[in-house]
Structure 1
Amino acid sequence: MIQLRKASERGHANHGWLDTWHSFSFADYYDPQHMGFSVLRVINDDRIAPGAGFPTHSHRDMEIITYLLQGSLAHKDSMGNGSVIRPGEIQRMSAGSGISHSEFNASESEEAHLLQIWIEPKENGITPSYEQKSLPVAGNNAQLNLLASPDGQDGSVIIHQDVRLYATHLQEHGEVAYSLPAGRRAYLHLARGKLKLNGLELEAGDGAKILDENINILSTEAGSEALLFDLP
């Protein structure tokens, strides 16, 4: 079974410096029918104006993943980490017992476009931690690339939950298949382009809840970039 949610159905807020779309309930957007899926709690599709960003704020008991589509994002946190994340990299922050951080567009001229993802951890109150890795995936026409996992498989960042996050860049007429293990669920977020999921057409920003199905992704027109979550 596949449940499609079109990009235009998501929550939306434009604060001037931040134009954001919420796949699930977040901040002032509340929809009891879209509170998350399995342990996937947040996918925010954010566009941040040059030089703007989120001043220091706090989190706890959440696995937070940042995936850049365009531009760059400067990160600072209460653990002493300071870095800039760019496309082709992934950042993971385990908020655990509590952490404060800030995020700003690192450019004074270019918009930053990113996905911020929250996953509920398996255990609350863990020691906060941070990880950032270069994981280039562009140009691969027939592969799902593992970005995050509970065991760091294939050099992925480690998240404290039984979730595997994959990314794929498909060129024109590219195809990739994923067999969903029995008893598992999946969520697909199309970041860019167009593709078909088992024959179902998706456009940028669309999401799909997937249960008890093998997954076939076929790009159309100029190709696509998508994230796939394998969930408990």
Structure 2
Amino acid sequence: MAQTLIHKAGTRGAADHGWLKSFHTFSFANYYNPERVQFGALRVLNDDAVNGGRGFGEHPHDNMEIISIALKGELQHEDSMGNIAVIAPGEIQVMSAGTGIYHTEFNKDGDNAVEFLQIWVFPNKRNVSPRYDQQKYDLDGKANTLVQILSPNQDDEGVWIYQDAWFNLGKFTAQTTLDYQLHKPGNGAYIFVLKGDLKVDGQVLETRDGYGIWDNAGFSLEATAGAEVLIMEVPMSI
């Protein structure tokens, strides 16, 4: 029988640093909730807004798969591997931190906030050589379907990471329904509603709600109103 959990948007950890406003689905920095440390291999899901001209100074990471999804504005990225890039809506960025990297992230716009998701996934292979990738995706051109943006496979659509994880984004009009089948036994899915309203196996979800489901083969989605959703399928054991 499927197991589930729900995280309503208003129950997330919140941090307001003036230049940075962040909501933490799982324990992060000064927010700690022993019941919300991770969802399987999914360790961090931060919903960030950075004021114009501000950002994160150089800081390190290691042995973590770090994913950024731009929602609004442009995020400037530089790292110790020599990458200099701008991440805009419709793009996903990944870094396999491996043996260790340093990077900075800044709002390229001096006036308006940039909004993005920062996601960390535990890898299934440690101390790899650090790597970087960035890919575009098109939700408007593939409305009412799921668009794969991440997988474990280098030859698949989207970016890849060192983990048996699959991420999909979807943009749906009202009354759209579809079924999602998990790719691998032992995986679960964390569904994060970016906009709108939908149901997962009948459970009502609203903007920025999160819903975890595992010990099952799949689930059904129904967009009760227009909705955008991110589905993160990850191993439940790491």
TM-score, normalised with respect to structure 2: 0.93
Residue aligning to 2:195? 192
Asked if 1:220 corresponds to 2:224, the answer is yes
Distance 2:155 2:193 in 1: 23
- Per-residue deviation, 1:176: 2.5
- Whichever residue aligns with residue 201 of structure 1, its letter is V
Q: Secondary structure, in 3 states, of the residue corresponding to 2:223?
A: strand
Structure 1, 183-192 or 89-98: larger mean CA deviation: 183-192
Percent identical among aligned pairs is 41
Distance 1:153 1:39 in 2: 22
Distance 2:173 2:114 in 1: 23
Asked if 1:19 corresponds to 2:3, the answer is no
Distance 2:86 2:185 in 1: 39
Q: Secondary structure, in 3 states, of the residue corresponding to 1:8?
A: helix
RMSD: 1.3
Match of 2:111 among 98, 109, 112: 109
Answer yes or no: is the 8 Å Cα contact 2:185–2:217 preserved in 1: no
- Per-residue deviation, 1:45: 0.3
Structure 2 matches for 1:196-211, cutoff 5 A? Answer: 196-211=199-214
| Residues 121-142 of structure 1: per-residue CA shift (max 9 Å, x gap) | 1121110000001112235333
TM-score, normalised with respect to structure 1: 0.95
Match of 1:166 among 161, 165, 168: 168
Distance 2:233 2:64 in 1: 18
Q: Secondary structure, in 3 states, of the residue corresponding to 1:155?
A: coil
- Per-residue deviation, 1:49: 0.8
- Per-residue deviation, 1:190: 1.0
- Whichever residue aligns with residue 76 of structure 1, its letter is E
Instruction: Please list every run of 5 or more consecutive structure 1 residues that lacks an aligned counterpart in the other structure.
Output: none
Answer yes or no: is the 8 Å Cα contact 1:58–1:99 preserved in 2: yes
Answer yes or no: is the 8 Å Cα contact 2:193–2:207 preserved in 1: yes
| Residues 82-109 of structure 1: per-residue CA shift (max 9 Å, x gap) | 0100111110011110100000111112
- Whichever residue aligns with residue 97 of structure 1, its letter is T
Residue aligning to 2:96? 94
Distance 2:72 2:161 in 1: 24
Distance 1:170 1:37 in 2: 25
Distance 1:214 1:94 in 2: 28
- Whichever residue aligns with residue 164 of structure 2, its letter is D
Distance 2:113 2:97 in 1: 27
Match of 2:159 among 157, 160, 166: 157
Moved over 4 A (4+): none
Distance 2:155 2:222 in 1: 26
Q: Secondary structure, in 3 states, of the residue corresponding to 2:76?
A: strand
- Per-residue deviation, 1:213: 5.3
- Whichever residue aligns with residue 21 of structure 1, its letter is F
Instruction: Please list every run of 5 or more consecutive structure 2 residues that lacks an aligned counterpart in the other structure.
Output: none
Distance 1:216 1:37 in 2: 20
Distance 1:17 1:192 in 2: 24
- Per-residue deviation, 1:55: 0.7
Match of 1:6 among 5, 8, 14: 8
